[in-house]
C-alpha cells in the first residue's frame, strides 16, 4: 500500500467484506402463525424483523415492528390475525446472497429504507424460483462491521 492515500486502503478493505462472513441467524415464523405469536417471537429472540416461511420452508415474507404495530391498531384479536395478511410478501422482498459484498447489502438497506435483509440462496431444481433462508443482515450487522474496520487490532 506504500504511497497510496489511506482512504483507498480503507475503501479497498471495506469492499472485500462479504455477507457470508457477517450474516446473523435468520429468525423465522411460519406463514400460519398469528400476529400475537410473531410479537412474542420478536421479544423472545430480541430482533426487530422476522422472516416468514411457507410450508416448504421457503421465504414467503418479511414482518417488521411497524407491520405488527399497524395490525395491533385494528380491533381484531391478534391471535386471529395470520402474519400472512400483514407481512410484506414475495416477490417484493429485497434480498442478498452470501457471496454479495456487505457494502452492497448496506446500500440496499439505505436505498430501500429498510432495517433488515434476508440472506438467501435459490432453491435447487424445479423450486429454483424460491429462496432458502440462510441468514440475515441488519443495520446492527453493518454497525458491527463498521466498528471492526475502525479497530486497529483487527485487520
Ligand atoms: P419498521 O417498519 O419497523 O420501521 P422497516 O423499515 O424494516 O421496519 O420496514 C418497513 C417496511 O418495509 C415494512 O412494511 C416491512 O414489512 C418492509 N420490509 C422490511 N424489510 C424488507 C425487505 N428486506 N424487503 C422488502 N420489504 C421489507
ipTM of the complex: 0.97
Q: How many CA atoms, within 13 angstroms, populate the side-chain half-sphere of residue 151? A: 8
Q: Alpha-carbon distance 86 to 64, whole Å?
A: 10
Cell 475503501 identifies what position?
Answer: 11
Residue 59's φ and ψ, nearest 5 degrees, are -60, 125
Q: According to the model, what pLDDT value does residue 130 have?
A: 96
Question: How many A from CA of 9 to the centre of ligand 1?
Answer: 33
Cell 440475515 identifies what position?
Answer: 136
Residues with CB under 6 A from ligand 1: 49, 62, 64-67, 88, 92-94, 114-117
Note the pLDDT tens digit of each residue in 65-86.
999 999 999 888 999 999 999 9
Q: According to the model, what pLDDT value does residue 92 have?
A: 97
Superfamily of domain 6-150: CBS-domain (3.10.580.10)
Question: How many A from CA of 75 to the centre of ligand 1?
Answer: 23
Which triple of cell numbers denotes residue 49?
424483523
- Whether the predicted pLDDT of 21 surpasses 60: yes
Q: How confident is the model at residue 1 (pLDDT cuts 50, 70, 90)?
A: low
In three-state secondary structure terms, 96 is strand
Q: Where are the domains of the chain?
A: 6-150
Q: According to the model, what pLDDT value does residue 6 have?
A: 67
Tell me the pTM: 0.92
Q: According to the model, what pLDDT value does residue 12 have?
A: 87
Q: Alpha-carbon distance 124 to 119, whole Å?
A: 16
In three-state secondary structure terms, 91 is coil
Amino acid at each position: 500500500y506504500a504511497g497510496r492515500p489511506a482512504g483507498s486502503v480503507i475503501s479497498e478493505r471495506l469492499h472485500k467484506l462479504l455477507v457470508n462472513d457477517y450474516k446473523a441467524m435468520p429468525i423465522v415464523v411460519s406463514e400460519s402463525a398469528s400476529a400475537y405469536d410473531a410479537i412474542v417471537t420478536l421479544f423472545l429472540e430480541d430482533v426487530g424483523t422476522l422472516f416468514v416461511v411457507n410450508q416448504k420452508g421457503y421465504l414467503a415474507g418479511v414482518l417488521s415492528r411497524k407491520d405488527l404495530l399497524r395490525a395491533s391498531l385494528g380491533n381484531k384479536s391478534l391471535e386471529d390475525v395470520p402474519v400472512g395478511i400483514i407481512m410484506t410478501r414475495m416477490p417484493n422482498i429485497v434480498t442478498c446472497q452470501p457471496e454479495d459484498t456487505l457494502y452492497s447489502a448496506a446500500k440496499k438497506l439505505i436505498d430501500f429504507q429498510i432495517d433488515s435483509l434476508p440472506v438467501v440462496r435459490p432453491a435447487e431444481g424445479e423450486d429454483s424460483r424460491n429462496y432458502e433462508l440462510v441468514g440475515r443482515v441488519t443495520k446492527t450487522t453493518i454497525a458491527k462491521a463498521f466498528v471492526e474496520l475502525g479497530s486497529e487490532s483487527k485487520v
